[in-house]
Amino acid sequence: TLTQWLDFLIDPRLAKNITNDGIQKFLVLPVEKRSGANETLFEKHIENLQRHLLKNRYGVDASDKMMQLAQEKKVKKEEEERRLNKPKRETHLHSSSNFHNSTKPMLTKLGECCLARYLIDDYRLIQSMLGGEKISNIDLAIAGLNPLDAHPVIQKACTWGNEQHKQECRGDLISMLMRRAKYLDESKGSCSAIVSAE
């Protein structure tokens, strides 16, 4: 799970040994497909990360030129694929949404609820990545979903890149929480009760 993978930033015994100077950057690249969207913003997040890293390393002018050249190369490749009529392969898969395919989701509603409950600490960590701001669209406190007390760098997960990227990153994290909030609210009873009430 995500919390097991990042336990050194969550476990108070381990996190206290990591000063703010020890880990200065923690970047998040969400792969969540927002409700109503046709695709994830993952490729856009990758492009924003490339731009951010290039600007920090080479400056604005050089990074803009490199990104422009990369875009031109991508367009040429796509035109060549269309010309040769090659089927476009998916560049990434998504684990929790019916996405770019016509198959039904692997999990039932009951299975999705049980998985969300099993991963509740991961969702608490995702909430921590929002930097402590309240989410107006949903009352996660009622769901008993409080952010994890983690290393302060976790709260800066979406603070890199330009303002638009910061908002997209936060929006994707909020989308993850909102999509599963009804399952994470243990006050609503068991997963069977929640699913049967739908």
Whole-number pLDDT of residue 33: 66
The two structure tokens encoding residue 187: 């006050």
The two structure tokens encoding residue 91: 């560049």
Contacts of 92 by beta carbon, 8 Å cutoff, 6+ apart = 31, 40, 42, 43
Per-residue model confidence as pLDDT tens digits over 18-67: 655 566 677 777 776 666 666 667 777 788 778 887 887 888 888 888 88
Q: Using an 8 Å Cβ cutoff, are 9 and 149 in contact?
A: no
Can you list the pairs that 69-74 forms with residues at least 24 positions away whose Cβ atoms lie under 8 Å?
A: none
pTM of the shown model: 0.66
| Distance of alpha carbon 179 from alpha carbon 32, whole angstroms | 10
Nearest to 168 by CA among 50, 71, 44, 52: 44
